[in-house]
Amino acid sequence: MKDLTLKSVTKLFSEKRNIIFIPHSSPDADALGSCLALYHFFNQENEVNIISPNEYTEILNFLPGSENILNYETDKEKCENIFNKGNVIFTLDFNSLSRARNLSSLISKSSATTIMIDHHENPNNYADITISNSRMSSTCEMVYDFICSIDKSKIDNKIATCIYTGIVADTGSFRFPSTTSKTLKVGSELINHGVNVTEIFEKLHNNFQFKRLKLLGSAINNFKKIEGLPVVYTSITENDQKVNDFKKGDSEGFVNFGLSVADILCSVLFIEKKDEGLIKISFRSKGDFKVNIFASKYFNGGGHEYASGGISKLSLQETEEKFIIDIKKYIKENYE
Ligand SMILES: [Mn+2]
């Protein structure tokens, strides 16, 4: 943290505050790990609340303190009362208010001091204090640094578990290019706080329902390769979801299987969402192939260089056809 930022943060918390932590919509382990770590850190001397824009995968219910997370979609009145009293808002693991979905207007209308901690590129300018670094592995790694610069002695097993989980999830267990020697050093320090490495891995990756395995089977079966290009894509139809009792988070990580094929640099997953009238798209890549610019140029999305998302309002079939045309064009323009 810059000296000036640290000064304003220290001043802000020199008295008791009413703090709200907000993750991005459909929060993942990094977003909720960040919220919960800070929740535990500030819990003793402040009023603290976590408000999620919507529901999250039940896989993350093992995170200590997760029973306190409020869901704005199902508890509007309570959440709005909390907003009225809040005087500090942390927005975590996102940098554009639209990522907070239906909470975005409450955040922008609030008179509270807003603090963004985030590791995505091109942060918007909505926060009073912006702590942004796209070279960081995860928001959780940044939250670790944030906590250390205020009071490192407060890190306990609960805080360490939340931070470690977010880092492990966002770095694919310390193997994505964003993993630095410092990331590993942070991991090492968290293990010194008694983090149970095996248990966290098991809870994150080996904790699914049988039907999710069948869903993975159909997603893998649907993979197609674009002839002559290092690109594969697959889809999960509305019917696949119905047959396999699809729950939020069930398709997490499926897209990565495409990158396990030799010489494939880009893998894409399309998920049909008939109730929302759109197709949700996940882009993953490696090597020289960067997907964030492609996602924003052609599919109204964006994200990290190697992990981005997007949407399409066409049908699944039309989306796939459009994708094939767009990716060919993009590769021709940028990589040939
Ligand atoms: Mn993240």
Mean confidence (pLDDT) of the chain = 96
Domain ranges of the chain: 3-205, 210-335
User: Between 3.10.310.30, 3.40.50.2300, 3.20.20.100, 3.40.50.720, what CATH number should domain 210-335 receive?
Assistant: 3.10.310.30
Please state the pTM of the whole predicted model. Answer: 0.88
What is residue 256's DSSP assignment?
A: G
Phi, psi of 294 (to 5 degrees): -60, -45
20 has a pLDDT exceeding 80:
yes
- The pLDDT value recorded for residue 1 is 77
- How many residues can be counted in the chain? 336
What long-range pairs does 106-111 form, CB within 8 A, spacing at least 24?
Answer: 106/80, 107/22, 110/83, 110/86, 111/87
State yes or no: pLDDT of 336 exceeds 90. Answer: no
Determine the 3-state secondary structure of 298 from DSSP. helix
> What pLDDT sits at residue 4?
84
Query: Ligand 1 centroid to 332 CA: how many Å?
Result: 30
Q: Give me the architecture of the 3-205 domain, per CATH.
A: Alpha-Beta Complex (3.90)
Left, alpha or beta for 333 (phi > 0: left; psi -120 to 50: alpha)? alpha
User: What is the pLDDT averaged over residues 324-329?
Assistant: 98
Q: Tell me the per-residue pLDDT of 212-258, one tens digit each, with 9 for 90 and over.
A: 999 999 999 999 999 999 999 999 999 999 999 999 889 999 999 99
Calculate how far, in angstroms, residue 98's C-alpha sits from the geometric centre of ligand 1: 16
Q: What is the arithmetic mean of pLDDT over 46-72?
A: 97
% pLDDT > 70, the chain: 100
Per-residue model confidence as pLDDT tens digits over 128-180: 999 999 999 999 999 999 999 999 999 999 999 999 999 999 999 999 989 99
How many angstroms is it from 116 CA to the middle of ligand 1?
13
Find the 219 Cα to ligand 1 centroid distance in Å: 24
Distance 62 CA to ligand 1 centre (A): 18
What is the bridge-based pairing of β-strands 278-285 and 307-312? antiparallel
